[in-house]
């Protein structure tokens, strides 16, 4: 016993990431009073829920899950969400953006590019207050975007839900400080160190079921800003945006209003992983219209209390 203990060479990266994620989830469950896991049916939240399942086995997951429902979701994702929640026997809260609109808490954007993406923040913060949550697990990854590259694993939000990037707590070793001051809550990100490919490889390794929109399928699409969007009742099309049938899959599960699809023939998990491994365009660059507003779009939304 003479030298510093560092990580043993034997553990592969996926196992290492899994262990780290489980560690984080257990820390939050142990140190916070009322955590909740944000679950959309998207691939990152699917992996996160799997880690939570493993962390407490054979006990049930000791916290509820919540979905912020914009009302513009892919029906396939909602169907998957309900099935998975029933399987795990966890409590599901649905926070509805439509209700926030109906109650006048937010005003719906208008026009062909209207999105409820930004409105989610108010619905989310209202739900945090209503249910007294002091910690929210989110599936964000640091490789997604440059504001996230600097965000802590335990990320603090003030009473207004705001993130202050210049005032983050130092985070050392695997020692997370979960002490809150009044009115604060934390966002905990157990997948911080995962990349998109790690997520897909893990889904493959664990043989996790995922919503069908992640696989190639025929769908009516239209082209806008160089991206392919699904035709839906939620998006009025502009002149020239004629629908056509295409074989597509989705790289992320967001709102139908701002999630673009990619042309693909990948019908199996193997084929999807192979495509992701070979892709040359970032996930957000290719498929998320919400990040295209400005260079600092994510940083601004996070300051406002976004996921």
Binding residues for other proteins restricted to 217-236, rule: CB under 8 A: none
**Residue whose entry in the numeric block shows the structure tokens 């004629």:** 242
| Closer residue to other proteins in complex, CB, 5/107 | 5
Q: Does 296 bind other proteins (CB under 8 A)?
A: yes
Q: Which of 27, 69, 134, 255 binds other proteins (CB under 8 A)?
A: 27
CB of 206 to other proteins, least distance (A): 10
Say which DSSP state 116 is in. Answer: S
DSSP lists the bridge partners of residue 93 as 66
Contact call for residue 104 and other proteins (CB under 8 A) = no
The DSSP bridge pattern shows strands 65-69 and 92-96 to be parallel
Contact 192, 168 (CB under 8 A): no
Identify the residue among 246, 273, 289, 290 touching other proteins (CB under 8 A): 273
CB 82 to other proteins: min, Å: 22
Judged by CB under 8 A, the stretch of 9-17, 68-76, 97-105, 130-138 that binds other proteins is 9-17
- Cβ distance to other proteins smaller for residue 207 or 242: 207
Indicate the residue among 37 and 55 with the shorter CB distance to other proteins.
55
State the number of binding residues for other proteins (CB under 8 A). Answer: 82
Least Cα distance to 238 among 223, 220, 221 occurs for 223
Within residues 112-141, the interface with other proteins by CB under 8 A covers none
Between CA 277 and CA 195 the distance in angstroms is 11
In the block, residue with structure tokens 């929109």? 213
Segment 67 to 96, residues that bind other proteins, using CB under 8 A: none
Is residue 158 part of the contact set for other proteins (CB under 8 A)? no
Q: DSSP code of 233? A: T
Q: Which stretch binds other proteins (CB under 8 A): 36-44, 75-83, 232-240, 277-285?
A: 277-285
Stretch that binds other proteins, among 32-40, 54-62, 237-245, 253-261 (CB under 8 A): 54-62
Candidates 273, 279, 288; CA nearest to 144 is 288
> What residues have CB less than 8 Å from 232, skipping those under 6 apart?
72, 256, 257
23 binds other proteins (CB under 8 A): yes
Q: How far is the CB of 160 from other proteins (least distance, A)?
A: 17
Cα 190 to Cα 206: distance, rounded to the nearest angstrom: 17
Q: Could you tell me if residue 132 is left (phi over 0), alpha (psi between -120 and 50 degrees) or otherwise beta?
A: left
Sites for other proteins among residues 180-219 (CB under 8 A):
180-181, 184, 192-193, 195, 197-198, 201, 204-205
Report, in Å, the least distance between residue 225 CB and other proteins.
13
Among residues 33, 107, 173, 240, which is the contact residue for other proteins, using CB under 8 A?
Answer: 173
**Angle at 157 (CA atoms; ends 254, 284), nearest 5 degrees:** 25
Give the rounded distance of the alpha carbon of 248 from its chain centre.
Answer: 21
What sign has the CA pseudo-torsion 134, 138, 141, 147? Answer: negative
Q: How far is the CB of 96 from other proteins (least distance, A)?
A: 31
What are the strands, taking DSSP E only, across 51-183? 65-69, 92-96, 135-137, 154-157
């Amino acid at each position: 016993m003479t030298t510093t203990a560092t990580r043993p060479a034997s553990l592969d990266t996926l196992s290492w990431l899994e262990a780290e994620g489980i560690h984080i989830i257990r820390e939050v469950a142990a140190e916070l009073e009322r955590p909740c896991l944000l679950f959309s049916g998207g691939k990152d939240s699917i992996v996160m829920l799997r880690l939570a399942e493993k962390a407490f086995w054979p006990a049930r997951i000791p916290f509820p899950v919540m979905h912020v429902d914009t009302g513009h979701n892919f029906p396939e994702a909602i169907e998957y969400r309900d099935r998975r929640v029933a399987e795990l026997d966890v409590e599901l809260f649905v926070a509805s953006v439509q209700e926030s609109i109906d109650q006048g808490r937010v005003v719906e954007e208008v026009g062909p590019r209207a999105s409820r993406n930004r409105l989610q923040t108010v619905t989310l913060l209202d739900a945090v207050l209503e249910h007294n949550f002091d910690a929210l697990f989110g599936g964000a990854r640091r490789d997604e975007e440059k504001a996230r590259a600097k965000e802590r694993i335990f990320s603090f939000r003030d009473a207004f839900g705001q993130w202050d990037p210049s005032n983050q707590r130092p985070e050392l070793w695997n020692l997370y400080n979960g002490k809150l001051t009044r009115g604060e809550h934390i966002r905990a990100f157990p997948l911080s160190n995962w990349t998109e490919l790690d997520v897909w490889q893990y889904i493959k390794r664990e043989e996790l079921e995922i919503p069908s929109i992640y696989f190639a399928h025929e769908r009516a699409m239209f082209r806008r800003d160089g991206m392919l969007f699904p035709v839906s009742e939620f998006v009025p099309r502009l002149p020239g945006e004629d629908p056509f049938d295409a074989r597509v899959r989705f790289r992320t599960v967001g709102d139908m209003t701002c999630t673009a699809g990619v042309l693909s023939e990948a019908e199996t998990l193997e084929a999807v992983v192979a495509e992701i491994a070979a892709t040359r365009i970032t996930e957000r660059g290719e498929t998320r219209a919400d990040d295209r507003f400005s260079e600092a779009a994510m940083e601004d939304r996070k300051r406002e209390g976004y996921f």
